[in-house]
Amino acid sequence: MKSNKNINQKNSIFQNWLVILVAILFIALPFTINAYWVDVLFFFGIYALLGLSLNIVLGEVGLFDLGHMGFMAIGAYTTAILNTAFGIPIIILLPISAITAGAFAWLVCSPIIHLRGDYLCIVTIGMGEIIRLTLNNNPFGITGGPNGVFGIDFPSLGSIFVVDNSTKFYYYIWLIVGLTIIGLVNLQRSRIGRAWNCIREDEIAAEAT
């Protein structure tokens, strides 16, 4: 027992130092590479957020949702349209876009939540395509079609801090990624996370308990 406890303590210390080392590398990285690669890492961070959210649906709950990108697009376009049309700051729009994407997902997924396996894959692929085609066709002239929405403000905290260059965007997105990872790890260890795992392993047994 004592040996296992020592091993767990060593593993915990190693993990903590590894996290610190990775954080230092991420902070120092923009100063060692050119602006192009900083932009690449910024977009990598955006897709990392998409992957983290998909991990909840696919990895934790075990639902084969292949239209996940469509819901991310709903949140992104909500932010872009409200910012350009009404001048609402990006920081304020972040939770609003998340709520909008979640509400839309609930609305369209409620009728198909009973589907599983290949059937769920086919339907979610269809939903993702419907969202993509709708946005590309520029409904009501607000999505910009294939060109997207122009004139989006830089994220800012008033006049104190403005995210207006590649390096700041890099730190901005990876700060959000880091906070998201922390939140998801805590969620996985919670009662909700355990319930997700039960659903993935045996939905009938999970429903019974």
Q: pLDDT tens digits for 171-207? A: 989 999 999 998 988 888 888 888 877 877 766 766 6
In this predicted structure, the answer to whether residue 157 has a pLDDT above a threshold of 80 is no
Written as six digits, the tokens of 50 are: 């998409």
Percent pLDDT > 70 in the chain is: 90
The Cβ of residue 135 has, within 10 Å, a number of other Cβ atoms equal to: 21
Q: Residue 25 to residues 32, 52, 63, 184, 197: CA-CA distances in angstroms?
A: 10, 21, 35, 22, 33
- Where along the chain do its domains lie? 1-32, 35-62+161-209, 66-153
What six digits make up the tokens of 86?
């009404």
Q: Which helix (H) or strand (E) holds 117?
A: helix 117-136
The string of pLDDT tens digits covering residues 51-91 is 998 888 888 877 777 888 888 999 999 999 999 988 888 88
Helix (H/G/I), strand (E/B), else coil: 162: strand
Q: Which of 91-105, 118-132, 134-148, 153-167 has the lowest mean pLDDT?
A: 153-167
Mean pLDDT of the chain: 84
Q: Which pTM was predicted?
A: 0.79
Break the chain down into helix, strand, coil percent, rounded to 5: 80, 0, 20
More confident residue, 72 or 118: 72
b/e per residue 38-47 (b: at least 16 CB within 10 A): beebbeebee
